[in-house]
Amino acid sequence: MGNTIIIEKINLALQKIRPYLNADGGDVSLISVSEDLVVKVKFSGACDGCPYSVMTLKAGVEEAIRKELPEVKEVIAEG
């Protein structure tokens, strides 16, 4: 699978979860995807530094990305 397709699938997943984050005043953006399919994202707005951001990352963002691209090993947030 090409890198462009991987990025498109990840961005599609982020678009699906973005309205929930926006509703709370936050957002998420894709920073990078490593060769071994570790995805790095960055929270912004109310999500940046929120005490629930780890839960949002794993139960929301990572789950949404894995629905589109099950091969993803991990999703991490940039500090």
In terms of pTM, does the model score above 0.85?
A: yes
Contacts of 22 (CB under 8 A, 6+ apart): none
Burial 23-43 (b: 16+ CB within 10 A, else e): eeebbbebeebeeebebebeb
CA atoms of 65 and 62, how far apart (whole Å):
5
pLDDT of residue 6: 94
Number of domains in the chain: 1
Note the pLDDT of residue 79.
75
Nearest C-alpha neighbor of 50 from the set 20, 18, 11, 24: 24
Rounded CA Rg of the chain: 12
In this prediction, residue 2 carries a pLDDT of 78
Per-residue pLDDT of the chain (79 residues; tens, 9 = 90+): 778 999 999 999 999 999 999 999 999 999 999 999 999 999 999 999 889 899 999 999 999 999 999 999 999 999 7
* CATH number of the domain within which 47 lies: 3.30.300.130
Structural domain span for residue 43: 3-77
pLDDT of residue 39: 97
